[in-house]
Structure 1
Amino acid sequence: MGEVTVRLYAAAAEAAGTHQLGLQLPHDPAPLQQLITQLQKTVPAASDSATSSSTAASGTSPSLQRVCDQSSFLINGTRAAVDTGQVRAGDVVDVLPPFAGG
């Protein structure tokens, strides 16, 4: 087991409340889809209590699951398919939501 660095951009960073975090892999290698599911389960536990009074009440923060469903993913700078991508300890995974004008 090892750690993967996850970098979040734009709406993904807003939804997660951070631009970067480390996640432990349950096994090495692990499917990208499993890492995404782990990310979605981990982040709300950390950010809900901090943002629940302001952002959740106003409804302005996007759900991380919704953002991930629309995002592209890079593993070490190379585009990866969610259903076939594999992550290993030490990898860097970028979560790239759709950008305006694109």
Structure 2
Amino acid sequence: MTITVRFFAAASAAAGTEEAQYPASTLQEFIDTALDKYGEPMAKLMPSCSFLLNGVAMNDRAADLPAGSTLDVLPPFAGG
């Protein structure tokens, strides 16, 4: 069972993709996996990212990511 992760802006550049599939887990497990997989560019970015789970803001890193869900990884955006 997996979740869909969508990377936006600088997170997409750090991951080298806009979308990927990950095993269903917790938010912290996803973050740890992304840091291992994408290395330093993602490590610099991840602490300032916001996360949306199925369109709802998510702050609890111990929260489960249910299979079939979509997680958006949103770095800080500039402009206005």
For Structure 1 versus Structure 2, the TM-score category normalised by the shorter chain is: 0.7 to 0.9
2:29 corresponds, among 13, 20, 34, to: 34
Structure with the largest fraction of helix? 1
TM-score, normalising length: structure 1? 0.70
- Identity in percent: 36
Aligned residues: 80
2:43 matches 1:65? yes
Query: Which runs of 5 or more structure 1 residues have no equivalent in the other structure?
Result: 45-61
| TM-score in terms of structure 2 length | 0.87
Paired position in structure 1 for 2:14: 15
Residues 1-102 of structure 1 correspond to what in structure 2 (within 5 A)?
A: 2-25=1-24, 30-44=25-39, 63-101=41-79
Distance across 1 between alignment mates of 2:67 and 2:4: 9
**RMSD between aligned residues:** 1.8
The gaps in structure 2 that reach 5 residues or longer are none
How far apart, CA to CA, are the structure 2 residues paired with 1:78 and 1:15?
Answer: 23
**What SS is found at the alignment partner of 1:5?**
strand
The structure with the largest alpha-carbon Rg is: 1
